Structure 1
Amino acid sequence: MTITNLKKLEEIRQALNSKFFERENEVEGILVALLSRQHMLMIGPAGTAKSALAFELAKIVQGTEYFQWLLTRFSTPEEVFGPLSLKDLEQGVYKRNTATKMPEANLVFLDEIFKANSAILNSLLTLINERLFYNNGTPVKVPLMSVIGASNEYPEDGEGLEALFDRFLLRFELDYIADETNFVSMMKGTGQNQVMPSVTMDELVQLQYFTDMVTIPDEVYATLSEIRNNLRDEGIRPSDRRFKQSLSVLQAKALINQRQVVKVDDIVILENVLWETVDQKDTVSTIIRNHSQDVVTQALYSIRNEANEVFYSIQQDHSPEAGMEATQKMKALVANLNKLKSNNQSRKIDIDALLDKVISMEHEILDSILEPWYFDVQNKKRGSTSTFLKM
């Protein structure tokens, strides 16, 4: 596995986090989906960057075939799978021209996915699940890697969409930006003009291969078995298939975190995988977090992600205003870590390791602010001296 490709993966994650505020989980989810060749569903109100995130990812993967469509109750199969070939139809052959449509795409974004009608649904299910498209009755293997579905709401019972909902292994709920600072940054367009990193299709395929090679230790299997038993005690019974597919999610999460071995705390991502109905979400999340992460680990993970985002953002925007804002955020993170350490002396080593990293980042940001300021002051001094001598 090349270090360069893994570095690119981290750069992509940081760049997306810098561009899409309060979407850390969804950014990780969409990268996990792509690496594990699984499908992801985003549910939330309009205007929460669902389509923008998918489209940005498609631009990052150079050479990808991307298909995006907004489904309505009146959408036709021609819109999604391609029109019938008139030339073939003259010969009595019922064949679609799939060029530029979903059967020829690597990455697909389907908005309002649950508006899919019965005319589209059966072909959609087969394409998503089996990566096959039946054209004139002949199964054709499609190059599909991941489908990103989006909806403003969950499907209602009795609409016959249970099978479609089940096809999405990863499911995330989105809401509007909560933090006021992030909201203001979004309004200002912070991060929108940055140069985004990229990865080629060949590099992506290689990363997918390395994802499959990530080791899953027995400790992780044992923890998953305990989680399964606890879920059953609550009347929650994810299918064996969903548990099996979740292993690829864990492998992808480990690779994103620059590891070749899955850790128990990677299992926390399965809180977006192992529930069946909306009312089960909180229970599933509690059980999974109790088995995979303690409170300190969760806090350290959150602080690390925020520090990386702040540090990456200052690489894109070198203005003094951005530097001061980044410095204040880093100081707040340092204060949070010191408070965490005072209450959790048994985790002092882990906390100190992250504290040293965050302080180092803070100093680098300060240097980036002070160095231009210093040279500016020196230049002004030289200018005033020269003017005085001329007088």
Structure 2
Amino acid sequence: MAMDGAGRLELPTDVLVEILLRLPPSSRRRVRLVCRLWRSIIDEHTTEMQSRATALLWHTWYGIAYVVDDLSKSSTGRYTQLWPRDTAGPYFLDRGSLQLIGTCNGLLCLCDNEEAPGGAVTLVNPATDEELPVPPLPCACPFVPSLERCTYWENWHKAYSFAYHPTSGQYKVVHIPCSISEEYKFDALHVLTLGEASWREVPAGPAEGVRCNLGAGIVSVDGTTYWVVENAGASWVVSFDLDNEAVARVKGLPGHPAGPENYHLTEVHGRLGIVVHGLSRTTEVWVLDKGQRKWSCRYNLTRHEVTRPYFVYGECILTLEESLIRGHYRHKGMWASNKAVPVRVSRRAHGTRLAVIDDEWCQTLPYVKTMEPLSIYMLPIDNA
């Protein structure tokens, strides 16, 4: 064991590697922040950091997850079912009620909309085949099934977000203030930290006249969850800091979207982005800077639809063409060298075929396989 210049003991690298490998993946991701040496060791010697995120394809009609085998230019267009389910019998016919809320570090967060009010939220690790149900969302409105209306609401999942805070290593499920229907109004934000027994209520500011645009989606980026609210013809982004659990108004929308159905939130290289569909089948993608002061146009696509909610995977961007998902990569003439100039993808850019799937029923999210056990979060559930 050697001494460094400041008189501190230094562990041999091989010993440090053995120690860090004994930590669970969630702890390793946190200790990467200690210093460059630890970050380098973890990046080079752990599988979860060596593997790059691929695209998870979620079929919203059948409730089945697939992963694209290869996101490179040489892709054969193959994709495989991530976590097999029985596709026979009446159980399969009802899978439209099972929807994906989000993914974090290889974990999937699902919501069964058939369970009302609020839906039944479950965490799944497809690699270990573990499932972890979370406590039901607290709801002031009693649910009384009626033969005159559906016994479940098909959009419960749209009000949730599944997020990870990189510094604390905590996973959180967030339910934003919204009105699902006349019977179910949520005027406060609810947060459940994975491993805790019950939800916590967080004040979200005045709700009078404010409506959440669930169609724009909810995106969590680098420890912050974002959504869009509207009031008196104006729209703006709201943020929820997963660390101090404070709600704040961030910024108005860029690109002058023609209506609430013509934009949605996304993530672009660790920054909040918004996809705006304009006239003449043009799509602009705006990105918010680190200080949350200015939007800048990062992508400009002509006659191409990007996948939703995520379309950027490293140097690959995914677009939709009828039932085809295509990958577009950096090449001369398409990608700008000056970052201040938007990346332009013309209608003549065909890209590489990555998958053939019903685009109307498909969502795309990042996925990295992990062997992190869900059992470490299994604490008693408070059903009171």
- TM interval, shorter chain, is under 0.3
TM-score by length of 2: 0.26
Higher relative contact order (CA 8 A, sep 6+): 1
Higher helix share: 1
More strand by share: 2
TM-score, normalised to structure 1, is: 0.26
